[in-house]
Structures are given as structure tokens and as C-alpha cells.
Structure 1
Amino acid sequence: MKNNDSSAQILNIERGLIAAILFDEEIFSEVNDSLAIEDFLYPSHQKIYDVCCELKAQNTPINADFVRARLQEKKAIPDEDFAQILATSPIANIEAYIKEIKNASIKRNLAKLAMNIATLTNDTSLQSEDILDNIEKEVYALSSKGAQVDFKHSKQVVLEMLESIKELKERGNNILVGLDTGFMRLNRYTTGFNAGELIVIGARPSMGKTALFLNMIQHTINRNEGVAVFSLEMPATHLMQRMLSSLTSIPLHDLRVGRLDDVSLEKLTIAMDKMAKRPLYIDESSSLTIAQLRSKLRKLKTKEPNLKMAVIDYLQLMRGSGLRRGDGARQEEISEISRGLKTLARDLEIPIIALSQLNRVVETREDKRPMLSDLRESGAIEQDADVILFLYRDDVYARRADREKIAKAKREGKDDEVKKLEEAFLAREREHTIEPAEIIIAKNRNGETGTVDIQFNKPFIRFEDKEKPQELNYAPTDTRIESDNSDVIETIQI
């Protein structure tokens, strides 16, 4: 009896809400922000709401006449069902009715999930970790807006694309679609970091992968859009030191040893205050499985809906699920991780950036610029990634060659030569604080490949665009730290 009463109550609530939409189409936007078609219990109500969504997408008025005409055209529901909606008095408390319909929808789905859990736990072929991951994914889907995923008819896809094109046209920016990478020419190649993409940044050690991604995420958090960083290699405090050095133009070494004058300390205090308010979330676990990362990101996304990007530093330090032995085990594990990251990026509708080590074979070539075949431990990374970027700095190898010459002269006991080489090396280091660097776009699923020339500012561990004339129709993101007291701190441009 209680079930019947509940169903009758939902029937009246759904009728009242749809009647309100037909009476005042301005209400539809508020309803559409919270409810999907599947949230309605009764099929006739689902079909009416579907027609309302269709009319909205076509910029057609949503009222009784247009909805009735479209329903009759589709022969979707009996006329008497629509008449019952029109006979229902429109309600005023829209928010309460939306909440009741959503609550009932979630409860129905939870009941289905409970039945599914019972089925999964009786399946002896599944591991407990796989079952937990499946359940967590379903629960996250229920708690997320628009989580139901089904086949999309081509008409729906075309309408969604049309809305996207209209939005971009209104924005008036023919370059940036996703999140700003921080580099003008890289934005031109990639249109930014886009939702659902897996972006891999690969480089040999000491090239500056960590510094590069920190420069990139600064543009996102400065717009108060959230970024999650999984730092498996470096403590969170070290990452923050690098970001503050880049923001304030205080040399990183001075920050680490506390060598700061009053002006630098004032700069640092202001920058720290700004950074404390930025939506940056750092997980410094030194060991992480793909299942654990999925769980943490889903929870954070539920808690912080404004999360726009996630970064993993770095991919090879992660672990897959279960135990693997024998030849090819590590390759299989990396394949599982890369595929898991790509799937997660699509589920959460955010770009995920994964840093990656490269094979030592790079060092044996005369031209040490990385290639796709240099990605370490698995070709699956190349397959799963939407964008693959390689960071290259020729000065890293030049510096290494100079050190090898000094070491060789020392072994041979050539003291005078050692002195000359060391003096030349130190002079070059003092003078050469800005080094050329390259971002090699080795794969770009939705665009061209190529090379972007940038520069590396060594004292501040900062990658920068090379000075170029302002390009048309491009407004770079303002990533400055400013102070109300202009005498204390200058404008700092990344």
C-alpha cells in the first residue's frame, strides 16, 4: 500500500512540474539543469520532457501548442495523457518538486544497483577489487549530473555540436577551445587541453617535465578552476616552492635556503596568500594503483564539481591491479594504467595529463629529440593518448658533455685543462640563464603535429613563450600576481 501511495505522489509531482514548464517556459532551463529524461518515472512524462528538450535545442517555444503538435506528429502518447497534464494546476515551488523527482529517481537506481551487487558478488570470476571499482563507478554516476550514458542518435549529436559551435562563435576566440596550456603556439596546435583527453608529456630525466606541467596548471587555477595533482615523485612542499619561485621571480635556490631580503619576502607573502586561495589539490602518495587514483578523483570531483584537470607525475610510478608475473607483465600493467586514465578522463569529462619517462635508447642517437617509439614500457600509451608532447632542451646534453670533458681531464691528471674547462663551464652557466627549449607535438588526434619553440628560465624553473608579435584573435590568459601596494611588488608575468 505504501508503494502505491508513493507512486501516486510521484505521478502528481511529475504532472505538476511539467504543467509548470508548459505554463512558463523560463522554468525549463532550471529543470533541465537538474533532471534528465530518465529521472521521470512515467513513460508519458518522459516523452513530453524529451519533446521539451528537443524544442529548446531548436530554439522553438516550449508551450502547450508546440508540445502538443510535436507529440501528435510523433504519435508519442495518447491525447488524454496530455490533457491530464494541462488539467493539472502549475506549481510554484519548482525547486522542491525537482528535488523530489531526483530523489525518487536515485532511489530507484540504488535499488537496481543493490540487485546488481548481489549478482556481482556471486560471480566467482571477478576479483573483489574489480567489484568495488564497478560499484564505486555506479555510485559516482548516480551522484553526478547527467550520469546516464546511452546510445546517442545522430540528431542529438548534431544538435549538441551546433550548440558547441554557437558557444565558440559567441566567445570570439578561434584558437582556444579547452583549457589554456600557457603557450600560445601550443594552443594553436591543440586548441588547449580538452575535456575527456589523455595528454602524455614525455622527456628524459632533468629536462623539466615537472616544471612544465606546473607552469601549465597555473593558468587554470588562476581562473579558479580546480586542478588535482598526484605527485608520486616529489613532496607537495617542493611543488609549491617551484610554483612560488616561478610566480615571484625569486630564484628557487634562494627560496630553499631562505635567502630573502625584505622586498623578496613581501613578494613571497603576497604570492603565498594568492596560492592559498587557489583550487589546487595535491596527493603526495608515493605509491598508487589505478583503482586508488580512480577512487580519489571521483570523490574529489563529487566534492569539487569545478575540478577541470588532473595531473599524474609520473605514469611509470603507478601500479596496476593484481599480480602479474613473467615476460611482458610490466607492459600489461602500463597498458592497464594508460587505458584506465583515458577512460577516467572521459567519465569525469576533464583532461588528464600523465607525465612519462622515456627509454634510454634516446641517449644513443646523434639527434636526441624523442620519438613515439621512445615511450617507456608500453606502446599502449601511444595508442590511448589523444595528445603526446615531448620536452627537449639541447643545453641539457651540452652541459652533460662539458661535465664529461672535465671528468675525463681529472682522470688523466690534466690540472691546467681542468681549471680552464671549469672556468668556461661556470662562465657559461652564469651568462646562459635563458635556454631554448622545444615542445614536440608527436601525436595530436584532432590536429596537426609539429614543434613549438619556447624558452627555459633556469633561475626561476620557468618555461616561457618566446617573445613573438601578438597574434590576431588571441587573448592570452592573465596569470599575474598583483599587489595593492605597487611599490612593494611588481606585476609578475609567467
Structure 2
Amino acid sequence: MQTPSHAEEAVLGGLIVNNEAFHDVAPLLSADHFTSPFRRRLWVAIRDRVLAGEEADVITLAEALPDDTSDIFDLAANAYTGRTTPIYAAIIRDNWRRREAAGIAQRLLAGARDAELGAVDAAIADLMALSASMVEHEFTGKQALSMAFTQAEEANRNGGLLPGITTGLRELDSILGGWHDSDLTIIGGRPAMGKTAFLLGLVEAAADTGVPVGLISAEQPTLQIGVRRMALASGVGAAAIRAGNFHEEDWAKLADGMARAKERPMWIYDRSAVTLDELVGVARKWKHQYGIRVLFVDYAQRITVPGADRITEVAAVARGLKNLARDLQIPVVSLAQVVKGVDTRPDKRPTAGDLANSDELTREADQILMLYRDEVYHRDSPDRGIAEILIEKNRHGPTGYKRVAFKGETMRFADPASGMEDYR
């Protein structure tokens, strides 16, 4: 195998011989991938001239780098043919990746020896970032069509089964197709609409199919989440569980529900005012250690970015959640607050424009869902026990709304025709 310096010299010499080869290797390399200051300088000089539409030959490069003239002439004199340049570029990239991995390992060992908090999390984040940097980002239109056709073939072989991770609500799955990798979904609603209950139902539904899920809870402490989970799993009211005020026959329901729910693969991070960097680090760790396939967040406006004003903070969180979904190749589903002004309107159903603090949430989201329960505003509403899921944005299909059942005692959402007993 060639040494890193030989491959680097081959690439740089090949680019001087054939400037057109730069466009083949540019997606693979940057100046940081080269091991000597001279080679990094030369790469930058070649890049700048080629991108400016100018010739990058020994004369123009020597003029740009007068202190490196002799090295440039020596390298060009022994240049390989430009046709093999992409092969050597891949070698440089692989060698760089090995050096980076070794550096991460050394930092982890040093941190462990010094008992540094967060050394393991930092190493995991660095390794996942290193892996992400190796992913192909450039495709032809033909490749895009081929990828779409392959997905369609797989869906057909599955008999038309749900392509994404189930929401637990058949009517909602029929529109969204479940949760999809790399998507950011925002779920908004005013207080008392049942946003957290709705989110936990989504968490349970995904985990019940064996999908490993992560939940970042900046709103509800773990004990409250546990009570809600127990109510969802058993059908025994949350208030009764908290007070210990239930009937003898409820013990069997609790035991049966606990037996089912405790086996579901789920990880919870319970901290108020969690920072965006902290959230990203936890999600990457869960992806690495447990293979989570979907991340739920309660809720976007509780995530902080130190030093940022409120609007800038929420915008950064929106971009951060979307980038996380793409980097980890998982769906990210987050609750969000809705502005108070909704309550002053005759029609109090919220829209995407009512999300609090940031238009960035609307722009970054692939799906936006809003929750509305008429009985919250009108005690005599004919829609008691009914919730509306308003689909305000859906990049993969139609918008509209779905009516689902809501049982306040156990804080459970369900398809109306399913019977509440079936949604556990």
C-alpha cells in the first residue's frame, strides 16, 4: 500500500497535469486531508485557480507560491497521469480517516486518565461526525430515480405495509406514511390540548413495534412520564395511579400493562432547559449505543442555546433538530408551543403560522401537526372526547385533518373506530 505522502503527491501532480480531474476529487478532499503544510498550500492554490476558471500549471502555481517553487517543479516532474487521480484521492481520504480515528482514541484515553467528565460522549460525537463526513453527498438525477424505484420495489414486496415508523394511529399513518428517516416533525398546540400525552402515545406506539426510541424530556420529569406510561399501558387512570386510589381488579390491569410496557426499547433524558449541544450529544450517544431509530423531544422552545436571544435561539434549535435528523438518518419529532393569540380568535384552531418565537420551525419542518380539542374551550361542545389533528404541512403528501378519540382519564389518543381498549 502506498504511503500517505506518495498518494498525496500523486493527486497534486495529477491535478497539475490535468486540471479537469479536480472536479472528480473535490467532493472527496479538502486541505485538511493533506499531511504537510506545503501540500495543503498547493491544494488551496490549485483549487482557487481551477474554480476561478484559470490554468493551474507549474508556472502559475510557482507565481502563487514563490517560496515553494522548487517543490512544485519536483512534484510536477514526477507526476502520475491525471486519469488515476481519483484512485489516489480515495487513499488520501482513507488515511486521513484513520489518523482522525486514532486522534479521537488518544483524546479518549487522555480524558479517561484525567477523569474528565464527558470524555466518552465527546469521543462518540467525534466518531459519528467522522462517519457522517464519509457519506456520499453528490448524486446524478439517474441515481435519484434509481433510489426512489428501489424504495417503491421494497414497499411493494412488503405488501404495501407502512414505509415509516408507525404513529399508532391508523388514520394518521394513512396520510403521513409514519415517521420517515431524516424528517423533522413539529407538533404544536395550546396548553391543555394534550400535547405531551399525544407525544407519549407516539413514543409507546413506536416502541411497541420493537423500534428503539429516545425521548428528550425538558418538560415532564421521569416520574410523571412513568405514571403516564403506566396509565397508557394498563387503562387505569393516571390520577388514580398517583393517588393509589384504584380498585382491586386494577392490580391485574397494572401488572399486565407493566409486563408489556417494560420490554419496550426506550431511553429517556430528563432535564429542564437542556442545551442544544447537550441534546445532540445524547442523541448521538443513543444512536451509537442503542441504535435508536426515532427521537422525540418535549419541547422545542425548552431547548436552550446559551448566549442567544429568544428568536435566534429557537431558530438555532429548529436548524439543529433538522440537521440531527439528517446526520443520524432518523426521524425527529418535537412538540412546540403555540402563541396565545390563538385564544382570542373565533376559530381557535391553530395554524403553522402560530408557532411561537420562530418562523424557522415552519421552514425547517417536513411535517407540521397541530392539536385541537374543542371541549377545552366549550364545555357543551358536541365533540367531547374528540381531538383534531390538523396537518398543516406535509412534504410527502396531502394536508388536512383527522379526528381521533381522546380519553382524558388515561390521556390516550386513539382511532375512533378502534375502541380505546385496543390502543395500549
Do they superpose with TM above 0.5? yes
What are the residue-to-residue correspondences of 1:57-136 with 2, within 5 Å?
108-112=96-100
What are the residue-to-residue correspondences of 1:183-194 with 2, within 5 Å?
183-194=169-180
State the TM-score, normalizing by the size of structure 2. Answer: 0.70
Unpaired stretches in structure 2, ≥5 consecutive residues: 7-27, 30-82, 85-91, 105-119
Say which of 308, 318, 337 aligns to 2:293: 308
Say which of 330, 335, 348 aligns to 1:368: 348
Say which of 144, 164, 167 aligns to 1:157: 144
8 Å contact kept, 1:141–1:148 = no
**Alignment partners' CA distance in 1, 2:254 and 2:332:** 30
Q: Secondary structure at the match of 1:177?
A: coil
8 Å contact kept, 1:433–1:457 = no
Q: Secondary structure at the match of 1:262?
A: coil
Say which of 383, 399, 406 aligns to 1:456: 406
What is the aligned length?
Answer: 327
What are the residue-to-residue correspondences of 1:311-460 with 2, within 5 Å?
311-320=296-305, 322-324=306-308, 329-399=309-379, 435-460=385-410
Compute the displacement of 1:492 (Å).
5.1
8 Å contact kept, 1:133–1:291 = no
Counterparts in 2 of 1:147 and 1:206: CA distance versus 1, 3 Å: farther
**Alignment partners' CA distance in 1, 2:221 and 2:121:** 28
- Deviation sequence 1:171-214 (CA, Å, 0-9, x none): 1126x221111222211211111111000000000100011111
The aligned residue for residue 239 of structure 2 is 253
8 Å contact kept, 1:247–1:492 = no
| Overall identity of the aligned pairs, in % | 30
Letter in 1 for 2:307: L
Compute the displacement of 1:260 (Å).
3.0
What are the residue-to-residue correspondences of 1:145-184 with 2, within 5 Å?
147-173=134-160, 176-184=162-170
Compute the displacement of 1:153 (Å).
2.7
Counterparts in 2 of 1:451 and 1:137: CA distance versus 1, 3 Å: same
**Alignment partners' CA distance in 2, 1:281 and 1:137:** 18
The aligned residue for residue 279 of structure 2 is 293
**Alignment partners' CA distance in 2, 1:285 and 1:115:** 31
Unpaired stretches in structure 1, ≥5 consecutive residues: 8-36, 39-75, 78-103, 117-131, 403-427, 470-479, 481-490
Q: Secondary structure at the match of 1:224?
A: coil
8 Å contact kept, 1:198–1:386 = yes
- Deviation sequence 1:319-349 (CA, Å, 0-9, x none): 12x413xxxx311111010001001001111
Letter in 2 for 1:385: A
The aligned residue for residue 473 of structure 1 is none
The aligned residue for residue 467 of structure 1 is 417
Counterparts in 2 of 1:152 and 1:136: CA distance versus 1, 3 Å: farther
**Alignment partners' CA distance in 2, 1:147 and 1:263:** 57
Counterparts in 2 of 1:449 and 1:493: CA distance versus 1, 3 Å: closer
**Alignment partners' CA distance in 1, 2:281 and 2:95:** 22
Q: Secondary structure at the match of 1:463?
A: strand
What are the residue-to-residue correspondences of 1:26-45 with 2, within 5 Å?
none
The aligned residue for residue 14 of structure 2 is none
Letter in 1 for 2:294: M
Q: Secondary structure at the match of 1:194?
A: coil
- Deviation sequence 1:382-404 (CA, Å, 0-9, x none): 000000000000100114xx9xx
Compute the displacement of 1:464 (Å).
1.2
The aligned residue for residue 217 of structure 1 is 203
Over aligned residue pairs, what C-alpha RMSD do you find?
Answer: 3.4
Counterparts in 2 of 1:375 and 1:269: CA distance versus 1, 3 Å: same
